[in-house]
């Protein structure tokens, strides 16, 4: 979503992988503010979005999805890495900035 006067995040519209093959989903947030947290959500088909992680840190393990989140040193990029995605991980993944 974009705030008035600035685009907050940009993602590729789609990414595909095969079951068991790792995938990295990138997000660009070049106009991040110092107080913004980088947030990643997942929305499974027919379900409400769920928050996976909210962080300012450079690296975070996400054991619930067998993945990791990496944030660049300048916080302008983040990558959500899924190590062993299965059919149950097919979803819409969103990144966002928030307080």
Q: In what order do the strands lie in the sheet with 77-82?
A: 23-28, 77-82, 67-71, 59-62
pTM for this model (two decimals)? 0.86
pLDDT of 3 higher than 70: no
pLDDT of 85 higher than 90: yes
Q: Which two tokens stand for residue 71?
A: 């944030």
- Over the chain, what is the mean pLDDT? 89
Query: Which residue do the tokens 């928030």 mark?
Result: 98
**Mean pLDDT to the nearest integer, 12-40:** 90
pLDDT at 7: 54
Please, what are the domains in the chain? 17-98 (2.60.40.10)
pLDDT in tens, 28-74: 999 898 889 999 999 999 999 999 999 998 999 999 899 999 999 99
pLDDT of 5 higher than 80: no
Which of 97, 99, 1, 90 has the alpha carbon at shortest distance from 42? 90
Instruction: Check residues 7 and 78 and name the one with the higher pLDDT.
Output: 78
């Amino acid at each position: 979503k974009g705030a008035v006067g600035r685009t907050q995040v940009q993602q590729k519209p789609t990414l595909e992988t095969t079951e068991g093959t790792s995938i990295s989903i990138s997000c660009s947030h070049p106009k991040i503010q110092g107080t913004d947290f980088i947030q990643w959500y997942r929305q499974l088909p027919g379900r409400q979005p769920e928050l996976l992680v909210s962080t300012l840190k450079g690296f975070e393990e996400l054991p619930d999805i067998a993945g990791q989140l990496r944030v660049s040193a300048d916080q302008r990029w983040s990558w959500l890495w899924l190590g062993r995605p299965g059919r149950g991980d097919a979803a819409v993944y969103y990144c966002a900035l928030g307080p």
